[in-house]
Amino acid sequence: EAGCHIERFDDNMDSAHKITLAEGTKPNITLVTEELVNKGKQLKSTEAGIILNKQLDALLKEEKAASLQLEQLSQRQTNPEAKSHLESELKAIKKSIREKTLEVQRLNRSALGSILRQAPLIQGPLGELP
């Protein structure tokens, strides 16, 4: 029967197999797996990748705007203690921007689909690898 249901994940391989295998042998294929493996899409082109990319882009824009505001405040600040605090906040935001930019680049270069297409399929009873 089509639809979705909730399964508990216990942070181990047996639990993962129970979630990913239906009826003990038939794999449950998630949309992202279908798009990556069967349709050969890159991660950035999947529905999940598109949404993630948009969210990361929005976060980057917000942080860049905050960075600009802090930079302007810091330049106008005459109190050395307040200026130092603003500059440390600015440094943290710029670090976060760099990290998010790297995440977007990694997402856009991801070869996860080709890796999954080459991986052996799990077959047999739960907990048994091929």
pLDDT digits (tens, 9 = 90+) for 41-89: 887 888 888 888 888 888 888 888 888 988 898 889 899 999 899 889 8
Q: Report pLDDT digits (tens) over 3-19.
A: 666 778 888 877 777 77
Contact 83, 77 (CB under 8 A): yes
What is the reported pLDDT for 81?
92
Query: pLDDT at residue 98 above 70?
Result: yes
Contact 10, 79 (CB under 8 A): no
Query: pLDDT at residue 126 above 50?
Result: no
Residue 14: name the closest of 29, 24, 2 by CA.
Answer: 24
**What average pLDDT does range 112-120 have in this prediction?**
54
Distance in angstroms (rounded) separating the CA atoms of residues 113 and 130: 20
pTM of the model: 0.54
Show Cβ contacts of residue 5 under 8 Å, excluding neighbours closer than 6 positions: none
Query: pLDDT at residue 127 above 60?
Result: no
